Every structure is written in C-alpha cells, then in structure tokens.
Amino acid sequence: MSDVRFEAVEKAYGDFVAVRGIDLHIRPGEFLTLLGPSGCGKTTCLRLVAGFIAPTSGRIVMGGRDVTALPPHRRNTGMVFQSYALFPHRTVAENIAFGLEVRRLSRAECRARVADAVKLVRLERLVDSYPAQLSGGQRQRVALARAIVIKPDVLLLDEPLAALDLKLREELQVEIKRIQSEIKITTLFVTHDQGEALSMSDRVAVMRDGAIVQIGAPDELYERPNSRYVANFVGRTNLIPVVVRGRTDRGYRVASRTAPPMDFEVAGPQTATFDVGEACFLGARPEHLHLGTGRANAIEAEVRTLTYLGSVWRVEVETTAGEMFTVLAHPGEALPLSGAIVPIGWRAESCFLLKDT
C-alpha cells in the first residue's frame, strides 16, 4: 500500500493546458475519485500516474519515490482502461497472467496468483474463454483481475463502468468497492458520473478546466459545495440570489435580492466566511425542500409540472421571483395540483451559502 502525491503537476499540449498545477495527496489505501466533465483533465491526471504521459512541470511521487521520469512498465500501477484493452489473442487466464509473465514469475506462482485473482472477480468458469466471447461485465472483471493480480502500488480506474448498462453498472460499483476494500489498495478512480463518485469514494476531487475545484468526503461535497459549479455538478441545487443581512450564533441571516426581499436563515458550518452586505447565493437540495410551512425558511411558488419517479414525485415550481425550483415530494405528502400556489419550506441547517463567482 503506498500513497500518491501530485506536486505542482502541470501538463500542457502546446498552448492548451490540460492540467494546471495540481497538488493532491492520495492516502495509502484510499479510494479517491476525480470527478468532472469530459475535457477537465481528469484522465490526463490518471495517465500521468500511469506514466503514459510526462508532466510539463512538477513531480509525481509514489510511496515516497519520485516516479516522474520512470517509464510505464517500471511504475507498478494497475490500470483498468475504459475500453478494457483486453488482449484479443489471449484467453482470460492468459490476459490475467500477462503482467506476471513479463515479471518473470515462475509458472507455478503465475498459476496460483491467476487462480486467486479469478476467484476474487468470480470468473472461475471463464478462464479459457477469449475476450470476444465475454459480455461487457465479464470483460470488465477480467480487466480488473489483470490489473490487481500484479499487486500494484496503486489501482487506476479510467471510467471503467462507462460502457455498461445501468443495472450492470450498479452491480459492478458494489463489486469494485468490495474488492478494493478487501485488498485495501490505494485507488484513483476517474468518472464523470457523480452517482458513481459519491457512492464509491472515500474522497472526491471535483475538477474543472484542469484544476481541482473542491476536494472532500462525498457527504461534505454534497452538503456543503463550495461553488455553484460543484453544487450543480454534484446533484441538483435550487439557487436563490441573496445578500447577507447579519450573523447569528448558528450562521447567517440573509435576504433575497428581490423586491420585496424575503428573509432566510442559514445554519451550520459553511465553506467560506461571508461579510454583512455581501451578495451571494443560497442553495438548497430538492430533497431538502418540503411542500408546506412550519420550517425556518419559506417561500411561495406556483406548481408547474409533476413527474412521477417511482419512489418520489418531482415537483417543478416557479417562485414569485420567476425562478424554477425543483422539490422532491415523498410518498405520504399531499400532492398539489398543477397551477396551485403552494408554500415551500426548508430547515436552516439544510441549506448553504455560495460565493457569487
């Protein structure tokens, strides 16, 4: 188990800067996810660790050793590719054994370790099949087995679930997480799927334009995003433009930038400090809004559409200020009719403030 450290790592292709000065520490045994839209530099970071590309400046340190100048085959990382990159001319067992063969392990040891890896990913019955004969999920497992059988210092996962359908994806999320915690391997996971990121990671780093915008545990990121970008990329957020009126012992008092202004209360720790008079945004997650009164904050809104999602109803409403809000109504709550004016309330603890940037 070793840690990985990015020290002021920058990668430029001519004028285009793919990664701009990242400092990041992935702790031993940690499952860290790089989350962001395509082109944000997350895959570049992964390939920097694997050694397929070298940083323009900065260092990459693995287990205390500077690996920046090491070629890929000397780094001992195990990578699962988005396309799986299974060798089509080798069987499942031969694919998994590849890394052991090039390490000149004895035949007996190869066989033993391949057998272990095959058991870990539950592919015992397919060892002699060729990749072309496998389903997407099975290929994925082979790719995973091939990457971990070499006992890598760090496991690199490049959108490994992107090519699978929803049900399989959820199944393999659990599977990957199980294997990762079973062998306690330091893991760097790259995805654009926030659901995947939140459910699997110890920590998530949200990336944008080659830089890390926010890093933290999934619940921190979700409950207290530090920017409108993170608030909207990780889950959905209803935003109200507000101005800070004053501080309370638990947080802030703010008022909407509308005429007439409406007062709201925000409680709990925030990602930044706000000055009185500062213009900022108040954010609240759809599932934290409730139809009805009796909570610290309330507004009135007109119901536009109701969508049944199975476990909940999604209610789209328009506030008197003309903003569209999304509210999730849980079973048992009384549902309004489309066009009705309803009160919407939320607790001071379940909303947060965002800098106006």
Partner 1 sequence: MLANGSALAGARPRSAAPDVWLWVLLPTLAVLGLIFGLPLADLIAVSVHEMTGPAQVGDALTLEHYRAFVTDPFFLVMVVRTFWLGFLVVAFCLAIGYPVAYYLARTTSRWRGMALFLVISPLLVSAIVRNIGWFPILGGSGVVNWILMSIGLIDEPLRLISNFTGVVIGLVHALLPLMILTLTTVIQRVEPELEEAAANLGAGPALVFWRVLLPLSLPGVVAGSLLVFAMAISAYTTPAILGGNRVLVMSTYIAQQFRTVLDYPAGGTAAALLLLFAALLTLLALRVRTKGGEAG
Partner 2 sequence: MRRLALPGIVFATFIFLAAPVLIVVVASFNSGAVLSFPPTGFTTRWYERINPLFLHAVYVSLVVGLSTAFLSTVFGVPAALALARGRYAGRDLLNSLCLSPLMVPALVTGVALYQFSLAVWDVTGIGLGGTIPGLVLGHMTFGIPFVIRAVIAGHARFDRALEEAARNLGATPLETFWRVTLPVLQPSIVSGAIFAFLMSLDDVPIALFVGGGDATTLPVRIFTTVEFDFGGDIMAVASLIVGASVVLMLLLDRLVGLEQFFGSRH
Beta-strand pair 154-158/57-62 = unpaired
- What mask of x and - would describe binding to partner 1 in positions 33 to 52, judged by CB under 8 A? ------------------xx
Candidates 96-104, 116-124, 180-188, 259-267; binding stretch for partner 2 (CB under 8 A) = 96-104
Binding residue (CB under 8 A) for partner 1 from 1, 8, 69, 272: 69
Minimum CB distance to partner 1 smaller for 22 or for 348: 22
The answer to the question of residue 13 lying near partner 2 (CB under 8 A) is: no
**Which of partner 2, partner 1, none does 241 bind, CB closer than 5 to 8 A by kind?**
none
Minimum CB distance to partner 1 smaller for 69 or for 276: 69
- What mask of x and - would describe binding to partner 2 in positions 28 to 57, judged by CB under 8 A? ----------------------xxx-----
Show the 3-state SS of 77-123. Answer: EEEECCCCCCCCCCCHHHHHHHHHHHCCCCHHHHHHHHHHHHHHCCC
Minimum CB distance to partner 1 smaller for 70 or for 321: 70
Q: CA-CA distance, 3 to 19, in Å (whole number)?
A: 20
- Count of residues engaged in binding partner 1, rule: CB under 8 A: 8
Is residue 25 a contact partner of residue 5, using CB atoms and an 8 Å limit?
yes
The answer to the question of residue 71 lying near partner 2 (CB under 8 A) is: yes
Residues in the chain: 357
Binding residue (CB under 8 A) for partner 1 from 37, 39, 71, 195: 71
Q: CA-CA distance, 292 to 299, in Å (whole number)?
A: 10
Distances (CA, A) of 9 to 14, 166, 245: 16, 35, 41
What does the radius of gyration of the chain's CA atoms come to, in whole angstroms? 24
Which residues in 149-208 contact partner 1 (CB under 8 A)?
Answer: none
Minimum CB distance to partner 2 smaller for 2 or for 76: 76
Binding residue (CB under 8 A) for partner 1 from 72, 137, 241, 345: 72
The answer to the question of residue 83 lying near partner 1 (CB under 8 A) is: no
Binding residue (CB under 8 A) for partner 2 from 73, 122, 184, 247: 73
**Which of partner 1, partner 2, none does 69 bind, CB closer than 5 to 8 A by kind?**
partner 1
Which residues in 198-237 contact partner 2 (CB under 8 A)?
Answer: none
Q: Cβ of residue 163: shortest distance to partner 2, in angstroms?
A: 13
Minimum CB distance to partner 1 smaller for 14 or for 310: 14
- Count of residues engaged in binding partner 2, rule: CB under 8 A: 28
Burial state string for 218-231 with b = 16 or more CB within 10 A and e = fewer than 16: bebbbbbbbbbbbb
Long-range contacts of the stretch 88-92 (C-beta < 8 A, 24+): 88/130, 88/131, 88/132, 89/130, 90/130, 90/131, 91/127, 91/128, 91/129, 91/130, 92/118, 92/123, 92/126, 92/127, 92/128, 92/129, 92/130, 92/131, 92/134, 92/142
The answer to the question of residue 341 lying near partner 1 (CB under 8 A) is: no
Is residue 40 a contact partner of residue 210, using CB atoms and an 8 Å limit?
yes
Q: CA-CA distance, 234 to 14, in Å (whole number)?
A: 31
Q: CA-CA distance, 243 to 222, in Å (whole number)?
A: 23
The residue ranges that bind partner 2 (CB under 8 A) are 50-52, 71-79, 81-83, 85-89, 98-99, 102-103, 146-147, 150, 156
The residue ranges that bind partner 1 (CB under 8 A) are 51-54, 69, 71-73
